[in-house]
């Protein structure tokens, strides 16, 4: 029988107690620290103390370099962590980073089933940092499940990121080559039926969400990736497997 780990995820910003206390009192087995992408010399000295306190409590620490002011970068890392720990109890602290990181982390929880929580301090600091002291309450936040893109849609977004405007025939060939569900699980046997399935399962949903643009060029329709599509691809990269990740350049 596999042991379920208590896994915490926390951005490392200008908080100390609001990060350490929930993890230690919650008896976390492991914590993933999301550290802003900047030189170590610019980070507060107490960041080392945070790691020391967590380690002293017997918590395994994993560190990730993240742009805490990029929603999609935070989303990408948190969804990946939740995917890796799909069988574990994953809890995400949304109080310890930036407002942007809180948004990205919350969206990640809604798409993966991880649990977000907010930490209320006993008091706020009058000096610059840490921002809060003590922990008055740790509040589990309500979530409303939302659907992210499917794996096969992310594979298509990845393909579009590597190729300029492509036609639908190329996407059908991609589906056949990668054995994607919209081809494998359909009864489509003619080109016309394959185009219908491609539209209903891939192109129409992605266009509706504004992740792709469809442009008519002569008698063909050309499909290209939008900036939103590129961001979503980055945010849901955990859905790609090793074959999809060959030559992967997330940005």
Give the per-residue pLDDT at 40.
83
Q: Is residue 251 part of a domain?
A: no
Q: What is the dihedral of CA 95, 96, 97, 98, to 10 degrees?
A: 40
Structural domain containing residue 158: 151-239
The tokens for 84 are: 């890796």
Cβ contacts of 119-123, under 8 Å, gap ≥ 24 = 119/15, 119/18, 119/19, 119/21, 119/22, 119/93, 119/95, 120/95, 121/17, 121/18
Question: Does the structure show a pLDDT above 70 at 146?
Answer: yes
Per-residue pLDDT reduced to its tens digit, 53-91: 999 999 999 999 999 999 999 999 999 999 999 999 999
Of 85, 111, 140, the residue that ends a domain is 140
Give the per-residue pLDDT at 232.
94
Query: Span 172-184, mean pLDDT?
Result: 92
106's CB contacts (< 8 A; 6+ apart) are 92, 94, 116, 141, 143
pTM (2 d.p.): 0.82
87 plus 122 within the same structural domain: yes
37 plus 105 within the same structural domain: yes
Give the per-residue pLDDT at 127.
66
126 plus 227 within the same structural domain: no
CA distance 222 to 215: 5
Give the per-residue pLDDT at 190.
86
Confidence bin at 244 (pLDDT 50/70/90): low
CATH number at residue 117: 3.40.50.10770
């Amino acid at each position: 029988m596999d042991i379920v780990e208590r896994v915490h995820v926390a951005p490392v910003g200008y908080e100390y107690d609001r990060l350490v206390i929930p993890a230690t009192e919650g008896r976390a087995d492991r914590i993933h620290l999301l550290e802003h992408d900047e030189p170590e010399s610019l980070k507060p000295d107490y960041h080392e103390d945070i790691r020391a306190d967590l380690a002293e409590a017997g918590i395994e620490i994993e560190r990730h370099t993240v742009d805490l002011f990029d929603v999609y970068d935070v989303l990408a890392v948190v969804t990946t962590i939740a995917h890796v720990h799909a069988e574990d109890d994953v809890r995400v602290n949304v109080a310890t980073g930036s407002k942007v990181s809180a948004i990205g982390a919350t969206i990640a929880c809604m798409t993966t089933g991880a649990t977000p929580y907010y930490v209320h301090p006993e008091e706020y600091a009058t000096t610059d940092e840490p921002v809060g002291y003590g922990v008055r309450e740790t509040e589990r936040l309500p979530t409303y499940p939302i659907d992210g893109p499917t794996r096969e849609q992310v594979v298509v977004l990845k393909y579009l990121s590597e190729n300029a405007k492509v036609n639908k025939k190329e996407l059908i060939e991609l589906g056949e080559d990668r054995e994607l569900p919209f081809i494998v699980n359909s009864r489509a046997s003619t080109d016309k039926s394959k185009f219908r399935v491609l539209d209903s399962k891939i192109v129409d949903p992605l266009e509706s969400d504004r992740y792709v643009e469809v442009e008519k060029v002569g008698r063909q329709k050309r499909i290209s990736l939008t900036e939103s599509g590129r961001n979503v691809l980055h945010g849901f990269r955990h859905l790609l497997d090793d074959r999809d990740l060959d030559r992967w350049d997330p940005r």
